[in-house]
């Protein structure tokens, strides 16, 4: 009685078209897709691919311009001189990358804002590189500046990449999500490069090409960052959540809060709230500190308003923990709401004594006392509703300053 063994395939053969699609999917989507990633993964990767397409196309024009400029800028073109200029350009870029790496945890606090800013810097660097065609005699300084800017953008983009991919991974598949995301970016980059090579043979206008590709790149970058949904509260998302709670009693969902987050903050923009400030910045005179100190005896923070700087300050005591920082930020927003409301009423009701509605004349001490009552009764509700919407309240990404109030012990 001879027994025969036969191998039986566990899966039936797929039609040729489905085999091709399965092969492509193995390079562009994580295993188990779509259940292995969050719903916002697809729009993010779509905008990311489009951004890399424009970036690859831009790279052809910038490289072509640099190669042309490095040769034209020398009266006697020699391979050695060209190589030295190119090495110096790359060396300057590496120095810029190294120096910017000291930003540290800022890459975790405001990764969306930094990610979009890095793409904006990347386009500025590309613009400087293209400008070497008009000023080839200044190739080296211009190319060095451009490379420093682009390398700063590169280290920012690299540092913020993993937290974004982590937000999309479901389970222990962060490596797979990262690999497929980079694969999609490389494919789009190659497609953009190929199309740009074909177009560049027709010698299009550099200015027109740069304007079109930069607008496409930055628009894609903006929507790419906008599509990221994070469940942590940095300053921008915290502001959205608290403002909504104060005005409506409602906490926005993760998707709503992320969609309303401010992505680009110009450096010159006035920030109305400072957290973890120094004593001298917050108080104009010691009398103000003495007046409000009793209101915060049981808290690990203090909140005040400086009329001269038109800013609310949250000062942290040396025992302050993560929840204390969140509560201090919440209190600062409540106080700012009272001050803004009082300022608006002052502008509407009385312009004779102060035609510009200067908040310096407001009795902000009463607002601080009133805000303490509101915070004591509503902060717990705010935390509960935020957790119900999926926001993580156990960690603080509010990037507070390092200054702390320490008690003075009598000698």
Q: Alpha-carbon distance 82 to 75, whole Å?
A: 12
Q: Alpha-carbon distance 148 to 153, whole Å?
A: 9
Q: Please, are residues 281 and 406 in contact by the beta-carbon 8 Å criterion?
A: no
pLDDT at 10: 58
User: What number is the average pLDDT over the span 279-287?
Assistant: 88
- Taking CA atoms, 48 is separated from 160, 229, 318, 333, 378, in Å, by 14, 15, 43, 34, 40
* 370-389 tens-digit pLDDT: 999 999 999 999 999 999 99
pLDDT at 357: 44
pLDDT higher than threshold 70 for residue 35? yes
pLDDT at 12: 64
pLDDT higher than threshold 60 for residue 72? no
* 290-312 tens-digit pLDDT: 999 999 999 999 999 998 898 99
Q: Please, are residues 214 and 58 in contact by the beta-carbon 8 Å criterion?
A: yes
Nearest residue to 314 via CA among 286, 257, 349, 274: 274
Local confidence band at 47 (pLDDT 50, 70, 90 cut-offs): very high
Structure tokens given for 122: 């990347």
% of the chain beyond a pLDDT of 70: 84
pLDDT at 361: 40
pLDDT higher than threshold 70 for residue 23? yes
Residues 6+ apart with CB under 8 A from 329: 235, 238, 242, 273, 275, 314, 398
Local confidence band at 222 (pLDDT 50, 70, 90 cut-offs): very high
Local confidence band at 16 (pLDDT 50, 70, 90 cut-offs): confident
Local confidence band at 332 (pLDDT 50, 70, 90 cut-offs): very high
Q: Please, are residues 322 and 395 in contact by the beta-carbon 8 Å criterion?
A: yes
- Taking CA atoms, 301 is separated from 62, 236, 313, 324, 396, in Å, by 52, 21, 10, 7, 15
pLDDT at 46: 96
pLDDT at 359: 45
Model's pTM, two decimal places? 0.85
Sign of CA dihedral 24, 28, 30, 33: negative
pLDDT at 303: 96
- Taking CA atoms, 180 is separated from 121, 173, 185, 292, in Å, by 26, 11, 9, 55
Span of 32-36, 64-68, 81-85, 240-244 with lowest mean pLDDT: 81-85
Q: What is the SS3 string spanning 24-53?
A: HHHHHCCCCCCCCECCCHHHHHHHHHHHHH
pLDDT higher than threshold 90 for residue 408? no
Q: Please, are residues 240 and 330 in contact by the beta-carbon 8 Å criterion?
A: no
Structure tokens given for 63: 């490289």
% of the chain beyond a pLDDT of 90: 51
Local confidence band at 266 (pLDDT 50, 70, 90 cut-offs): confident
Going from the N-terminus, what domains does the chain have, and what CATH number goes with each? 16-227 (1.20.1250), 235-353+362-397 (no CATH)
């Amino acid at each position: 009685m001879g027994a025969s063994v036969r191998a039986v395939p566990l899966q039936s053969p797929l039609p040729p078209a489905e085999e091709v699609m399965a092969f492509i999917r193995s390079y562009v989507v994580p295993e188990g897709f779509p259940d292995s990633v969050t719903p916002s993964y697809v729009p993010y990767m779509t905008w990311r691919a489009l951004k890399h397409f424009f970036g690859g196309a831009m790279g052809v024009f910038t490289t072509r311009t640099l190669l042309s400029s490095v040769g034209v800028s020398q009266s006697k073109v020699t391979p050695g001189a060209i190589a030295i200029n190119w090495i110096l350009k790359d060396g300057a870029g590496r120095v810029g990358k190294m120096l910017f790496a000291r930003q540290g945890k800022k890459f975790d606090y405001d990764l969306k804002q930094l990610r979009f800013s890095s793409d904006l810097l990347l386009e500025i660097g590309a613009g400087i590189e293209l400008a070497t065609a008009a000023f080839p005699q200044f190739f080296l300084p211009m190319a060095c500046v451009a490379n420093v800017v682009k390398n700063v953008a590169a280290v920012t983009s690299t540092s913020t990449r993993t937290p974004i991919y982590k937000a999309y991974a479901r389970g222990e598949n962060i490596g797979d999500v990262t690999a497929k995301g980079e694969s999609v970016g490389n494919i789009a980059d190659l497609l953009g490069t190929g199309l740009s090579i074909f177009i560049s043979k027709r010698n299009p206008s550099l200015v027109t090409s740069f304007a079109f590709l930069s607008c496409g790149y930055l628009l894609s970058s903006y929507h790419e960052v906008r599509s990221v949904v994070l469940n942590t509260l940095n300053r921008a998302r915290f502001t959205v959540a608290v403002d909504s709670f104060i005005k409506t009693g409602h906490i926005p969902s993760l998707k709503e809060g992320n969609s309303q987050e401010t992505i680009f903050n110009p450096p010159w923009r006035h920030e109305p709230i400072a957290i973890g400030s120094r004593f001298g910045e917050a108080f104009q005179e010691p009398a103000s500190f003495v007046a409000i100190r009793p209101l915060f005896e049981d808290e690990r923070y203090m909140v005040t308003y400086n009329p001269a700087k038109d800013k609310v300050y949250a000062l942290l005591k040396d025992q302050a923990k993560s929840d204390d920082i969140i509560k201090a930020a919440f209190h600062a927003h409540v106080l700012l709401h009272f001050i803004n409301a009082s300022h608006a009423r002052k502008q509407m009701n009385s312009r004779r004594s102060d035609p510009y509605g200067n908040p310096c004349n407001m009795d902000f001490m009463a607002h601080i006392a009133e805000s303490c009552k509101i915070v004591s009764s509503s902060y717990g509700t705010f935390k509960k509703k935020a957790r119900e919407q999926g926001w993580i309240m156990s960690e603080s990404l509010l990037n507070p300053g390092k200054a702390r109030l320490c008690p003075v012990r009598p000698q």
